Amino acid sequence: MAVDAAVIGLGYVGLPLAQAATRAGLSVLGFDIDERVVASLNAGRSHVDDLSSADVADMRDRGFRATTDPAELREAGTLVISVPTPLSPDGGPDLSAVNAAVSTVAAQLRPGMLVILESTTYPGTTDEVVRPVLEAGGLTAGTDFHLAFSPERIDPGNPSFGATNTPKVVGGHTPGCTEAAASFYGKFVDTIVRTKGTREAEMAKLLENTYRHINIALVNEMARFCHDLDIDLWDVINAAKSKPFGFQAFYPGPGVGGHCIPIDPNYLSHNVRARLGYPFRFVELAQEINATMPSYIVRRAQDALNEDAKSLRGSTVLLLGVTYKPDIADERESPAVPLARQLISHGAAVQFHDPKVSEWRGLSEHATRVEDPAAAAAAADLTILVQNHREYDVDALAGGAQRFFDTRGVVTEGERIERL
């Protein structure tokens, strides 16, 4: 049976996209190689934060279905690839999932189809990596089928912006490809932003996240010397953001995490070095600053314990919140991981609490989960707020702790409280 669109990759990006298209009345097929994900979705159960099981059940009732059978993709008019692109060991993008998805699409490609890549990558990927594989069967992009790039802009946990009201950037291999992609997204996205081509659309995503990466690094470095100068950076930022133009507030923290900020700018830096032979110094410096924030937090933790005549070795340290952002269960690239590992390497006994995480992947054997954060904070030598979930009454937790280190600038100042 023909379907309007098939979404390849049903994670944090693909599933909200499929939901938006389904709600707009399109017939949508989901494709994923994970049989458990497919079975769960077909049973009406969600595996991502932004969609509840009720949302998935509603999608199913509207005709959405998931499959692991690539042959079913041939019935779709539009194929959207939204698979992960993590970093490879050399610092560039790992395109193995993209390559696998493109090969799957190529085997099912037919005249008249629209193929869109949404996975974040370096400029040139759509034209140099995707297009040759799709054209190897004899069809030509821009003539026999349409090809475009549209960067994903999903912000997990954002209550204000989702797939429908976040403007969609689209860039096609030809102007006709751009219009085909714009027409598709225009059925369920409020605003479409066209670029000159695929490279401009690919670069737009990297610019967005490089901008954030560099500005976060700026305030992280300021946090260090403001502490040494006895200046309250949080108060400084609050004052600066009162200016109605020319300033956007960014905030320091224990590091950066998630699927974008720690990864995407490195695609650009790696591509600049590989193609042009010189460094993208802003990105590389920002990466250095942000990557060393967990080490800085450990040094501050040592100083805080010294105030109580304690050493880090042998002390119990409680980490509150181990996801990469508040109010979601996503642990990808969370700075809590290197922070915990460094604390452990210094001899600390690490405990953690997170209302979103029952088992901390990769650290479950080294960090003990506590059920009652208030009781654990009262017993621990040091409590570190790493991520401020809405479930936390932070002032109460800080008030009952032996010593409390706030890396998010949310605790009311007081004795035995340290702030980044």
Write the pLDDT tens digit of every residue in 152-161. 998 888 889 9
The pair of structure tokens assigned to 139 is: 């069809």
DSSP strands (E only) in 180-280: 192-194
Contact (CB, 8 A) for 60 and 22: no
Secondary structure class of 61 (helix, strand, coil): helix
| Residue in 117, 173, 186, 95 with CA at minimum distance from that of residue 141 | 173
**Catalytic member of 80, 260, 319, 411:** 260
Contact (CB, 8 A) for 79 and 6: yes
Which residues are within 8 A (CB) of 191 and not within 5 positions of it... i.e. 6 or more apart?
165, 167, 168
pLDDT > 90: what percent of the chain? 79
Distance CA 292, CA 127 (A): 36
Q: Is 260 a residue of the active site?
A: yes
Distance CA 49, CA 159 (A): 11
Q: Which pLDDT does position 361 carry in this prediction?
A: 81
Q: Which pLDDT does position 263 carry in this prediction?
A: 75
Strand partners, 351: 318, 368
| Residue in 125, 128, 88, 81 with CA at minimum distance from that of residue 102 | 81
Which residues are within 8 A (CB) of 393 and not within 5 positions of it... i.e. 6 or more apart?
none
91: left (phi over 0), alpha (psi -120 to 50) or beta: left
| Residue in 118, 142, 120, 122 with CA at minimum distance from that of residue 131 | 142
Q: Which pLDDT does position 1 carry in this prediction?
A: 62
What are residue 149's phi and psi, to 5 degrees?
A: -120, 135
DSSP label at 41?
A: H
The list of the chain residues with pLDDT below 70 reads: 1, 91, 258-259
Distance CA 218, CA 293 (A): 12
Which residues are within 8 A (CB) of 278 and not within 5 positions of it... i.e. 6 or more apart?
272
| Residue in 302, 216, 307 with CA at minimum distance from that of residue 254 | 216
Q: The domain 3-197: what is its CATH number?
A: 3.40.50.720
Same fold, 3-197 and 218-419: yes
Can you give the residue ranges of every domain in the chain? 3-197, 218-419
The pair of structure tokens assigned to 154 is: 């999903």
- In a 13 Å sphere around the CA of 134, the CA atoms on its Cβ side amount to 31
pTM above 0.85, yes or no: yes
Q: Which pLDDT does position 91 carry in this prediction?
A: 67
Write the pLDDT tens digit of every residue in 216-225. 999 999 999 9
The DSSP-derived string for 104-169 is HHHHH--TT-EEEE-S---TTHIIIIIHHHHHTTS--BTTTBEEEE------TT-SS--TTTS-EE
Cα dihedral sign for 184, 188, 194, 197? negative
Cα dihedral sign for 178, 147, 86, 364? positive
Selected from 3.40.50.720, 3.20.20.450, 3.40.50.300, 3.30.565.10, the CATH number assigned to the domain covering 218-419 reads 3.40.50.720
